[in-house]
Amino acid sequence: MAKPPKASGQQPQTPVSPPWNASSHRAPRFFVPETLGPGAEIRLPERAARHVSVLRLREGETVTLFNGEGGECRAVLTGTARDRITARIGERLDIERESSLVITLAQCVSAGDRMDFVLQKATELGAATIVPVVSERSIVRVSGERADRKLEHWRNVVIAACEQCGRNRPPAIPPMAELHPWLAGLPGSGSASGARLLLAPDGASGLSGLSRESSVTLLIGPEGGLAQHERDAAERAGFTPVRLGPRVLRTETAPLAALAALQILWGDLG
């Protein structure tokens, strides 16, 4: 039996592995919906201030601020009192991480946290606009103040996703729209409108068979799929039914698979 090595009198050092991603050292990012002028000292809004507290950031630490109008600013925390967190704006960087492919995702509203999941991941995948659509088989139907609260919640979801993924322009989220009026309000189909795609398991072709476009509107049905009259209306509005492989995808899976595929084919993931 081998003897154990003699103690050297020094504790062995545990090797330190490099971070798995350079972004792990990136300054925390916060959305601040106001003018960010270099040299100005601002008070962070409640949502950003709460995040600073959760992260236990201290005075003198560097953060990144963006206001949704493009670009971002370096800033240094100048005060971290519980009821008042302030930062001094530093250098402005004209950084954009928007996709060259302009994507509008028309997503039939799903129940529970599935809609939040779609909004978060669609933001990460570069969707420029996300339209919450209500169709005949939609489970979620709200109006009035409840609809306003839901919309505010969804906008906060995409803002948080932008803080995480590095985007400086949150996707636009208009109020919920009934499917038929939304289709009727689209401009006439043609080369200027880009591609209009409806995901359908029985679509005649897949995405790879389509001609390259610089913009696309993607329509995703609800859990039970679009009713036949809704699909007919979508096709009259210029939507082409396309399939994503031989399997039926859930309403929260289909848009993300399609967005990733489109970004590889026509966008910035290629």
**What tens digit of pLDDT does each residue of 8-31 get?**
444 444 333 333 233 345 899 999
Q: Is position 11 within any domain?
A: no
41 and 173 assigned to the same domain: no
Residue 157 belongs to domain spanning: 102-265
For the chain, what's the residue count? 270
Closest CA to 262 of 223, 228, 214, 229: 214
User: Can you give the CATH number for the domain in which 160 is found?
Assistant: 3.40.1280.10
50 and 178 assigned to the same domain: no
Torsions phi, psi for 157 (to 5 deg):
-65, -45
Q: How confident is the model at residue 93 (pLDDT cuts 50, 70, 90)?
A: very high
User: Can you give the CATH number for the domain in which 69 is found?
Assistant: 2.40.240.20
Which bin fits 71, alpha (ψ -120 to 50), beta or left (φ > 0)?
left
pLDDT for 58 beyond 80: yes
Q: Is position 20 within any domain?
A: no
Whether residue 12 contacts residue 33, with contact meaning beta carbons closer than 8 Å, is answered with: no
146 and 217 assigned to the same domain: yes
Number of domains in the chain: 2
Q: How confident is the model at residue 221 (pLDDT cuts 50, 70, 90)?
A: very high
Point out the least confidently predicted range of 74-83, 159-168, 170-179.
74-83
Q: Is position 171 within any domain?
A: yes
**pLDDT per residue as tens digits for the range 132-171:** 999 998 888 888 899 999 999 999 999 999 999 999 999 9
How far apart, in whole angstroms, are the C-alpha atoms of residue 207 and residue 261?
8
Q: Is position 3 within any domain?
A: no
Amino acid 192: pLDDT: 64
Amino acid 143: pLDDT: 82
Amino acid 13: pLDDT: 41
- Cα distances (Å, whole numbers) of residue 57 to 42, 50, 73, 93, 223: 16, 11, 18, 22, 42
How far apart, in whole angstroms, are the C-alpha atoms of residue 138 and residue 221?
9
218 and 127 assigned to the same domain: yes
How far apart, in whole angstroms, are the C-alpha atoms of residue 63 and residue 27?
5
182 and 72 assigned to the same domain: no
